Amino acid sequence: MFEGYYLKVMKKLTYVNRSRRNRQDEKCNSGSSSDEMEKNIAHAEELVRQAAAKGAEIVLLPELFERPYFCQERRYEYYEYAQTAEENPAVRHFSRVAAELGIVIPVSFYEKEVNNTYNSVAVLDADGKNLGIYRKTHIPDDHYYQEKFYFTPGDTGFKVFGTRFGTIGVGICWDQWFPETARCMALQGAELLFYPTAIGSEPILECDSMEHWRRCMQGHAASNLIPVIAANRIGEETVEPCPENGMQKSALNFYGSSFITDNTGALCAELPRGEEGVLVSTFDLDALKADRLNWGLFRDRRPEMYAKISGMNFGSVTENGVNSN
């Protein structure tokens, strides 16, 4: 049923939205108030509606856009932010918005399941129904990106979702640095790849990762012949020292630079560094499907030769093939 529907629909409009800067309070209690969270959700809705008015059918918001990036510091009380998809204010809010506007919205949120907490995305279809959840697979643990303190590594595996407007794959931020993420979603039939993101300055490494970050995902698009859409947050977020965070003082500057590529990795649309905005691109998914078939990239794969990637012992290679040890 879904396949027949997709074959009839020639054009798909894909949209990237970057939410406004999330500000940390200047006081020790730097997580976020419920008022600040409500303001973030309301502003995100304004931009979603702008996208819908331009004809967007799938709208992407950044990673954990409800709040400041609380993973910059380690505080036990922030565990209380985790909620189920049914309880989370952003998921509930945008379920109603998706149904009203008839659009698909992948919503990033901090998920709680019994004793575990995850960095997750709920994919809301154009009728507002939650099609399912993807849990972030790769969890970073770096200076001021201290996500292992908050998130259990995802247990869903890489997934695709059959939405009203196409089959989409969703990875989350650090997932985008791993080519296996994109390839696993491509092998399941993803037609578009989405990456909600929260990435910015590297205070310890003192490097500007923006171009590198983009090139990684441009490569995923080119090697899988699938458009990639990335939405990043913007602005400086500071942490002030207090006993609850071990007297940490730090700041991260999120550079935004959200973008959309075509299926060869070329940039279709991009936002300037640090600027809020709306990006819209149109893709003919039937034409892209034919292009993937014509290139033969998936036909010529040799999975039996890739066991090393999964840590398996794949033996030695001879002129006649593979000899197992």
Instruction: State the sign of the Cα–Cα–Cα–Cα dihedral 27, 29, 31, 32.
Output: negative
Taking only the tens place, the pLDDT of each residue in 103-132 is 999 999 999 999 999 999 999 999 999 999
Checking if the pLDDT of 28 tops 80, the result is no
CA distance linking residue 294 with residue 303, whole number of Å: 20
pLDDT at position 288, please?
A: 98
Catalytic site positions: 63, 136, 173
Determine the pLDDT at residue 203: 86
Domains of the chain: 12-300 (3.60.110.10)
Sign of the torsion formed by the C-alpha atoms of 110, 75, 255 and 176: negative
Between 191 and 319, residue with greater pLDDT: 191
Q: Over 90: is that where the pLDDT of 29 sits? A: no
The two structure tokens encoding residue 259: 């973008």
> Which one, of 62, 56, 23, 93, lies nearest residue 271 by Cα?
62
Sorted by sequence, the CB contacts under 8 Å of residue 209 that are 6+ apart come out as: 199, 202
For the segment 244-258, what is each residue's pLDDT rounded down to a tens digit? 999 999 999 999 999
Q: Are 275 and 256 in contact (CB under 8 A)?
A: yes
Q: What Cα–Cα distance (Å) separates residue 110 from each residue in 6, 121, 263?
A: 32, 9, 31
Mean pLDDT of the chain: 89
- pLDDT reported for residue 33: 79
How far from 239 is each of 38, 58, 109, 111, 157, CA to CA, in Å?
A: 21, 34, 21, 23, 33
Asked if 239 and 73 count as a contact pair (C-beta separation under 8 A), the reply is yes
The pLDDT tens digits of the residues spanning 298-311 come to 999 999 999 998 88
Token representation of residue 190: 């993803």
Per-residue pLDDT at 5: 25
Query: Percentage of the chain surpassing pLDDT 90?
Result: 82
Range 62-85 average pLDDT: 97
Structure tokens at 242: 């207090």
pTM: 0.89
> What is the model's pLDDT at position 315?
52
CA-based torsion, 205, 207, 209, 210: positive or negative: positive
Q: How confident is the model at residue 241 (pLDDT cuts 50, 70, 90)?
A: very high
Dihedral Cα 317, 318, 319, 320, nearest 10 deg? -90
Residues 6+ apart with CB under 8 A from 157: 137, 184
For the chain, percent of residues with pLDDT exceeding 70: 86
State residue 21's pLDDT score.
44
- The average pLDDT across 2-8 equals 26
Average pLDDT over residues 89-109: 98
